[in-house]
Amino acid sequence: MTETSRITHWIGGKPWSGTAQRHGEVFDPATGSVASYVDFAAESEVDLAVETARAAWRSWRGASLTARANVLFSFRELLNSRKSELAAIVTAEHGKVLSDAAGEVQRALEAVEFACGIPQLLKGGFSENASTRVDVYSIQQSLGVVGVISPFNFPAMVPLWFVPNAIACGNAVVLKPSEKDPSAANFIAELWAEAGLPEGVLNVVHGDKVAVDRLLEHPEVKAISFVGSTPIAKYVYGRGTASGKRVQALGGAKNHMVVLPDADLDLAADAAVSAGFGSAGERCMAVSVVVAVDPVGNELVAKIAQRMPGLKVGDGRQADSEMGPLVTAVHRDKVASYLDSGVAEGAELVVDGRAHPINGGEQGFWLGPTLFDRVRPEMSVYTDEIFGPVLSVLRCPSYDAAVELVNANRYGNGTAIFTNDGGAARRYQNEIEVGMVGVNVPIPVPVSYYSFGGWKDSLFGDSHAYGPEGVHFFTRTKVVTSRWLDPSHGGINLGFPQNT
Ligand code: NAD
């Protein structure tokens, strides 16, 4: 292993200089070759990062709001000026096409911009004369060291959903990115340093379960923001809260797009293809289920199938590629196995992604877009989060049956309804048990001044990510009741304080 092919931790404002006992391989998914190795942290390296963060927090918590906002504005400028480099790093390790990676970085920038308003966001309340000559006010203070654990599918955006707000609120951070595409986190950490963030306020440890478990147990880690699959989110929530931490753990998804009979079917077919196969279906807000309400099924399936052969699947670095490879061979094989199980369980394989032409390295982790029709709720292609370019169509006899289907699903991340009937759309947004709803919008990711989060098995904890809920999550409130003595003060009173 050469030094250039080694990705290591970022602790105290610089790369870690130790020698790791364990490593992981990082692939170029478009060629299938190992591009680099990433150090896996032992407990001692996590401890070092947490101690470094704790020491930095002691002074960072006292930095003025102006000083914090200045760092955020500088970071925003640097990120904006170097966004193409970051997008290229994402494409190289994740595989998503460059334009998609650029979109991810753009959404990350929006989260940074929100945090630039931290002086406004941290304004507390003040009640003069709550009791006679007594003032009451609230202040929001930082928690200390917070841990951020992120998934492979948005290696730039998901860390930046949390890190800007956490830092702006006066915390210090230990980020544990996905081991599958770790370089974006280091690039981001370097930009923060260049922006003037004091050493140790943001640290990055790479690794696997060992690093995560240590963060979940370390007594100086006060909060955990996690994004990943539902089983791990549930585990992180349980173990983190059991050790006394505040935890928000965002999990997996199965997002339904309901198409009513009055919808514009060409618009709906375009949306289903874009949201189903963008980023090779490796988005937590991807549409993976189309619910065709009778009688649109046949026509809608035909329109979706018609669009699929034209999709250009290839190396994400090539300008004309629309869909890249999957992240690893293991993941590609798992996704491909659903093509067999779907057929075995009786679904109709309308378009087989294994036959799609590919413009990329032979050993790349390829799988073209797949369409199943006549899927039923008990089939594994419906019950499981496949997290790949596999779209399932279920047919429903009515609007009510469609709502019942979506509400019965264990996940509740995102959903969309396609219709020209405002009344139906309004009913849907009221009745559906899902955290983020799109009306003729297939991927309803909230803008950065709202917050992002699903319901049911898509989120454990009660705080959504970024936006106002992010600020709430990364602060704790203190209420001060204050009386400045005046000449009339005096006397002993053992009774419980009452307001007069
Ligand atoms: P993952 O659950 O495998 O990994 C997420 C993080 O957890 C990584 O940092 C990983 O190193 C760590 N991890 C993995 N196994 C662990 C274990 N046994 N113990 C402790 N830590 C462990 O998820 P992934 O494959 O990287 O990402 C895809 C998943 O993330 C999908 O399920 C997707 O829906 C979900 N996701 C959800 C959202 C959301 O906002 N709800 C956003 C993006 C991705």
Residue-wise pLDDT for 41-98, tens only, equals 999 999 999 999 999 999 999 999 999 999 999 999 999 999 999 999 999 999 999 9
The reply to whether 493 falls in a domain is: no
Print the SS3 string covering 408-439: HCCEECEEEEECCCHHHHHHHHHHCCCCEEEE
Regarding the beta carbon of 454 and ligand 1, being less than 6 Å apart is answered yes
Q: Tokens for 150, please give them.
A: 């992120």
The reply to whether 387 falls in a domain is: yes
**Centroid of ligand 1 to alpha carbon of 152 (angstroms):** 7
CA distance 151 to 90: 13
* Residue bearing the CA closest to ligand 1, atom 38: 284
pLDDT at res. 485: 81
**Centroid of ligand 1 to alpha carbon of 57 (angstroms):** 27
In a mutational test of the pocket of ligand 1, which residue from 212, 213, 239, 452 has the highest number of ligand atoms less than 8 Å from its CB?
Answer: 212
**Centroid of ligand 1 to alpha carbon of 228 (angstroms):** 2
284 is catalytic: yes
Task: Select the more confidently predicted residue: 488 or 209.
Answer: 209
- Which residues does residue 412 pair with via DSSP β-bridges, in sequence order? 455
Q: Same domain, yes or no, for 293 and 413?
A: yes
Host H or E run for residue 258: strand 255-259
Asked whether the beta carbons of 326 and 332 are under 8 A apart, the reply is yes
CB within 8 A of 293, min separation 6: which ones? 258, 259, 260, 261, 396, 397, 398, 399, 401, 402
pLDDT(197) > 80: yes
Confidence of residue 488 (pLDDT cuts 50, 70, 90): low
Please compute, for residue 419, the number of CA atoms within 13 A of its CA located in the half-sphere on the CB side: 22
CB-CB neighbours of 189 under 10 Å:
25
Please tell me whether residue 375 adopts helix, strand or coil conformation: coil
Which atom of ligand 1 is least distant from the CA of 454? 41
Which atom of ligand 1 is least distant from the CA of 250? 41
Choice among 173-182, 390-399, 459-468, 477-486 with the minimum mean pLDDT:
477-486
pLDDT at res. 41: 98
Regarding the beta carbon of 252 and ligand 1, being less than 6 Å apart is answered yes
Q: How far is CA 321 from CA 317, 318, 444, in A?
A: 8, 6, 24
* Residue bearing the CA closest to ligand 1, atom 26: 151
Region 134-145: what's the mean pLDDT? 98
Regarding the beta carbon of 208 and ligand 1, being less than 6 Å apart is answered yes
Q: Same domain, yes or no, for 395 and 246?
A: no
Region 360-382: what's the mean pLDDT? 97
Which atom of ligand 1 is least distant from the CA of 232? 2
In a mutational test of the pocket of ligand 1, which residue from 229, 237, 383 has the highest number of ligand atoms less than 8 Å from its CB?
Answer: 229
* Residue bearing the CA closest to ligand 1, atom 23: 228
pLDDT at res. 89: 98
**Centroid of ligand 1 to alpha carbon of 234 (angstroms):** 11
Which atom of ligand 1 is least distant from the CA of 459? 41
pLDDT at res. 4: 57
Q: Same domain, yes or no, for 420 and 328?
A: yes
pLDDT(490) > 80: no
Asked whether the beta carbons of 425 and 444 are under 8 A apart, the reply is no
Regarding the beta carbon of 282 and ligand 1, being less than 6 Å apart is answered no
Print the SS3 string covering 123-150: CCCEEEEEECCEEEEEEEEECCEEEEEC
pLDDT(150) > 60: yes
Regarding the beta carbon of 387 and ligand 1, being less than 6 Å apart is answered yes
The total of structural domains in the chain comes to 2
Which atom of ligand 1 is least distant from the CA of 452? 40
For 83-122, write each residue's pLDDT tens digit.
Answer: 999 999 999 999 999 999 999 999 999 999 999 999 999 9
Catalytic residue among 116, 169, 284, 396: 284
CA distance 202 to 144: 12
Q: Tokens for 266, please give them.
A: 């060409």
Taking alpha carbons only, the member of 149, 177, 162 closest to residue 240 is 149
Q: Same domain, yes or no, for 93 and 209?
A: yes
Indicate the pTM of the whole model.
0.97
Q: Same domain, yes or no, for 329 and 421?
A: yes
Q: Same domain, yes or no, for 178 and 263?
A: no
* Residue bearing the CA closest to ligand 1, atom 20: 209
Q: Same domain, yes or no, for 223 and 288?
A: no
The reply to whether 486 falls in a domain is: no
Q: Same domain, yes or no, for 133 and 54?
A: yes
> To the nearest whole percent, how much of the chain has pLDDT over 70?
99
**Centroid of ligand 1 to alpha carbon of 66 (angstroms):** 35
**Centroid of ligand 1 to alpha carbon of 387 (angstroms):** 11
The reply to whether 473 falls in a domain is: yes
Regarding the beta carbon of 212 and ligand 1, being less than 6 Å apart is answered yes
Which atom of ligand 1 is least distant from the CA of 178? 9
The reply to whether 490 falls in a domain is: no
Asked whether the beta carbons of 24 and 208 are under 8 A apart, the reply is yes
Work out the burial of residue 234: count CB atoms within 10 Å of its CB; fewer than 13 is exposed, 13-18 middle, 19 or more buried.
middle
Asked whether the beta carbons of 122 and 140 are under 8 A apart, the reply is yes
pLDDT(1) > 70: no
pLDDT at res. 69: 98
The reply to whether 448 falls in a domain is: no
CA distance 124 to 211: 36
Asked whether the beta carbons of 471 and 450 are under 8 A apart, the reply is no
The reply to whether 350 falls in a domain is: yes
- Phi and psi at residue 452, in whole multiples of 5°? -110, 125
Q: Tokens for 296, please give them.
A: 């649109």
The dihedral region occupied by 144, where left means phi > 0, alpha psi between -120 and 50, and beta the remainder, is left
pLDDT(2) > 70: no
- Please determine, for the modelled complex, whether the ipTM score is greater than 0.90: yes
Q: Same domain, yes or no, for 200 and 321?
A: no
Q: Same domain, yes or no, for 244 and 260?
A: no
pLDDT at res. 492: 87
pLDDT at res. 220: 98
pLDDT(3) > 80: no
Question: Residue written as tokens 């509400």?
Answer: 407
> To the nearest whole percent, how much of the chain has pLDDT over 90?
95
Question: Residue written as tokens 């009452």?
Answer: 498
Regarding the beta carbon of 436 and ligand 1, being less than 6 Å apart is answered no
Domain span at residue 270?
255-439
Which atom of ligand 1 is least distant from the CA of 231? 2
Q: Following CA atoms 182, 70, 201, 242 in sequence, which dihedral angle do they give, to the nearest 10 degrees?
A: -90
Q: Can you give the CATH number for the domain in which 373 is found?
A: 3.40.309.10
- Phi and psi at residue 386, in whole multiples of 5°? -80, -35
Please tell me whether residue 355 adopts helix, strand or coil conformation: helix
Q: Same domain, yes or no, for 275 and 289?
A: yes
Q: Can you give the CATH number for the domain in which 69 is found?
A: 3.40.605.10
pLDDT at res. 489: 63
Q: Same domain, yes or no, for 383 and 464?
A: no
**Centroid of ligand 1 to alpha carbon of 10 (angstroms):** 21
**Centroid of ligand 1 to alpha carbon of 192 (angstroms):** 24
The reply to whether 37 falls in a domain is: yes
Region 247-262: what's the mean pLDDT? 98
